[in-house]
């Protein structure tokens, strides 16, 4: 899909379909008023006979006089009072979803020309791309007949109409950001939607290597089990012992910063299938544990975006990848393992495996002398209970970092909500036999999981994103969401100081 900014006069705008917004109560947007003039009052007359009061209501009209466009799509925006970025995104998605089934292969969107108090031209352009790609995304990699759900006339171009040249550079910047974010999200979704028998730790490693092949600025190295053993990653390896698939520690380095600049390190949980191990999970819905590598997928996607946006910082992505299955050699409740840090862990529940693979990757991150470290993980069901499916859970050992992540999430509509990482919770991890247990009892499961990780992140600024509730939607139409790729990239853009 091509994205372009157009600031030509509305009557001369060549497109298969010109999308024009209408507020509730037949109130015209800027573009609607202009189109009404050009068509000698046709729009206004038509609206008398239509109800487009709700956001996403649509009416298609052919052969409008006075306009070069082949079709006009009138698009309801709801009440003007309520109009903002959220409605804008919803409206764009509705138009694009409709046009999937229409012969138009090119559309021109006029909504970004409408005053939108809470969003800049950059953000409107960015969000147009993101909403479009979201509406067009399909996962058919495992369907034998890929033509079945495919559009007969796929969209190939979106023109974003802006009445003035002035904001064009800003909007171009937004298009580039939107494109990179949407592509990173699609990549993360593709990886996460793949089943566990295809998307194994080795598959993730291959995809990371392929990413390194595509981008000169990204170097990829895969640590094999033998190297992990040599290093002493006893926690990570103990999880992998329950599976016949070899574990991998994926290390991706993006270099865009000045020499000597400290890197941002992203650590993503790459658990390609979580059956729970000997502490086996119940059957219903267990298939969704193929999504337990979503954090890792978001890190791989984020690195791609760094390269595509040529961010002037260094970013290292680490993805510890393993399965968690109940083999005869698997961890057993009560087993004690020694982590890379030297700290010993009593594995009271083999289903709390995410923290076991993450803790060794976090200790490993020390060697990069990071500016800061963020880990991203589908870590606890408790996070879904606490925050549902809207907010990413956030815990951090430094408030400034937490605040930056909260702000980045708000900026790009991929919000996080902070939970406390107070000292008082730490004692829930006490073990009579080892330095700590891997679970902290019934209460505050998301916090005690973060407490566990905090014992391996004392040497740097660190934040933890629990994405158990946000990485995918459950049920019949289960699907990866691509979150928190937008949050990560917005954070990195801000870090690079080049949002505008
Ligand atoms: N991958 C799961 C967390 C999870 C569960 C994410 C459901 C999304 C939906 C994780 O490995 C896990 O099993 N966590 C346990 C921890 C418990 C044993 C302390 C959980 O949340 O039940
Ligand atoms: Mn688990
Ligand atoms: Zn898990």
Return the residue matching tokens 């005690």.
448
Ranges of CATH 3.40.630.10 domains, the chain: 181-495
Judge if the beta carbon of residue 292 lies within 6 A of ligand 1.
yes
SS3 call for 82: helix
For the CA of 281, the nearest atom of ligand 1 = 13
Q: pLDDT tens digits, residue range 203-256?
A: 999 999 999 999 999 999 999 999 999 999 999 999 999 999 999 999 999 999
Active site residues: 281, 355
Cα 119 to averaged position of ligand 1 atoms, centre (Å): 37
Ranges of CATH 3.40.220.10 domains, the chain: 2-164
Cα 367 to averaged position of ligand 2 atoms, centre (Å): 28
| Residue 499: per-residue pLDDT | 46
Cα 189 to averaged position of ligand 3 atoms, centre (Å): 18
Judge if the beta carbon of residue 466 lies within 6 A of ligand 1.
no
Q: pLDDT tens digits, residue range 66-122?
A: 999 999 999 999 999 999 999 999 999 999 999 999 999 999 999 999 999 889 999
Angle between helices 445-454 and 354-365 in degrees, nearest 10: 30
Q: pLDDT tens digits, residue range 319-351?
A: 999 999 999 999 999 999 999 999 999 999 999
Q: Which phi and psi angles does 416 have, rounded to 5°?
A: -120, 160
* Domain 181-495, CATH number (from 3.90.1170.50, 3.40.50.1370, 3.40.920.10, 3.40.630.10): 3.40.630.10
For the CA of 378, the nearest atom of ligand 1 = 6
Judge if the beta carbon of residue 352 lies within 6 A of ligand 1.
yes
| Residue 498: per-residue pLDDT | 57
Average pLDDT value for residue range 419-441: 98
Judge if the beta carbon of residue 326 lies within 6 A of ligand 1.
no
Handedness of CA 363, 361, 419, 409 (dihedral sign): positive
* Domain 2-164, CATH number (from 3.40.220.10, 1.10.760.10, 3.40.50.720, 3.30.465.10): 3.40.220.10
For the CA of 289, the nearest atom of ligand 1 = 1
Strands 106-109 and 479-480: unpaired
Q: Does residue 309 surpass a pLDDT of 90?
A: yes
Judge if the beta carbon of residue 182 lies within 6 A of ligand 1.
no
Average pLDDT value for residue range 172-198: 98
CB half-sphere exposure, 290, CA atoms < 13 A: 21
Distance CA 410, CA 412 (A): 6
Q: How many residues are listed for the chain in this entry?
A: 500
Distance CA 44, CA 230 (A): 75
Quickly count: other Cβ atoms within 10 Å of residue 51's Cβ.
Answer: 11
Ligand 2 ion: residues within 5 Å (CB): 274, 351, 353
Average pLDDT value for residue range 378-407: 98
Judge if the beta carbon of residue 131 lies within 6 A of ligand 1.
no
Tokens of 398: 């430094």
Cα 340 to averaged position of ligand 2 atoms, centre (Å): 20
């Amino acid at each position: 899909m091509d994205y372009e900014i157009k600031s030509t006069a509305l009557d001369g705008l060549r497109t298969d379909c010109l999308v024009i917004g209408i507020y509730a109560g037949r109130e015209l947007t800027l573009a609607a008023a202009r189109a009404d003039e050009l068509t000698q009052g046709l729009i206004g007359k038509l609206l008398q006979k239509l109800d487009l009061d709700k956001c996403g209501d649509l009416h298609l009209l052919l052969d409008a006089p006075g306009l070069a466009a082949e079709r006009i799509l009138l698009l309801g925006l709801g009440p003007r009072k309520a109009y903002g970025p959220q409605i804008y995104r919803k409206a764009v998605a509705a138009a694009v979803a409709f046009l999937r089934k229409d012969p138009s292969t090119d559309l021109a969107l006029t909504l970004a020309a409408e005053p939108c108090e809470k969003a800049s031209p950059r953000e409107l352009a960015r969000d147009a791309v993101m909403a479009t790609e979201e509406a067009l995304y399909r996962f058919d990699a495992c369907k034998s007949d890929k033509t079945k759900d495919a559009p007969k006339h796929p969209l190939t171009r979106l023109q974003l109409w802006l009445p003035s040249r002035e904001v064009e550079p800003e909007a171009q910047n937004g298009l580039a950001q939107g494109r990179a974010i949407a592509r990173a999200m699609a990549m993360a979704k593709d990886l996460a939607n793949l089943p566990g028998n295809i998307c194994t730790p080795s598959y993730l490693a291959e995809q990371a290597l392929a990413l390194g092949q595509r981008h000169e600025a990204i170097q990829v190295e895969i640590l094999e089990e033998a190297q992990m053993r040599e290093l002493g990653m006893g926690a990570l390896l103990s999880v992998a012992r329950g599976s016949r698939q070899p574990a991998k520690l994926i290390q991706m380095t993006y270099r865009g910063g000045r020499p000597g600049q400290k890197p941002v390190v992203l650590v993503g949980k790459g658990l390609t299938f979580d059956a729970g191990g000997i502490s086996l999970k119940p059957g219903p819905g267990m298939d969704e544990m193929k999504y337990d590598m979503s954090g890792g997928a978001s890190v791989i996607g984020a690195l791609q975006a760094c390269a595509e946006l040529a961010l002037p910082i260094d970013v290292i992505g680490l993805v510890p990848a393993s399965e968690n299955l109940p083999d005869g050699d698997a961890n057993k409740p009560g087993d004690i393992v020694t982590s890379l840090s030297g700290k010993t862990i009593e594995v009271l529940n083999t289903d709390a495996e995410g923290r076991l693979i993450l803790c060794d990757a976090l200790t490993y991150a020390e060697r990069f002398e990071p500016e800061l470290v963020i880990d991203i993980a589908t870590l606890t069901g408790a996070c879904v209970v606490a925050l549902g499916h809207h907010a990413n859970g956030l815990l951090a050992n430094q408030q400034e970092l937490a605040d930056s992540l909260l702000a980045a999430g708000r900026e790009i509509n991929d919000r996080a909500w902070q939970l406390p990482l107070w000292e008082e919770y730490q004692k829930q991890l006490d073990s009579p036999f080892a330095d700590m247990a891997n679970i902290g009892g019934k209460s505050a499961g998301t916090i005690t999981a973060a407490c566990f990780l905090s014992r391996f992140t004392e040497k740097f600024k660190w934040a933890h994103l629990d994405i158990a509730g946000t990485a995918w939607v459950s049920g019949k139409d289960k699907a990866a969401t691509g979150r928190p790729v937008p949050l990560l990239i917005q954070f990195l853009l801000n870090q690079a100081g080049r949002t505008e």
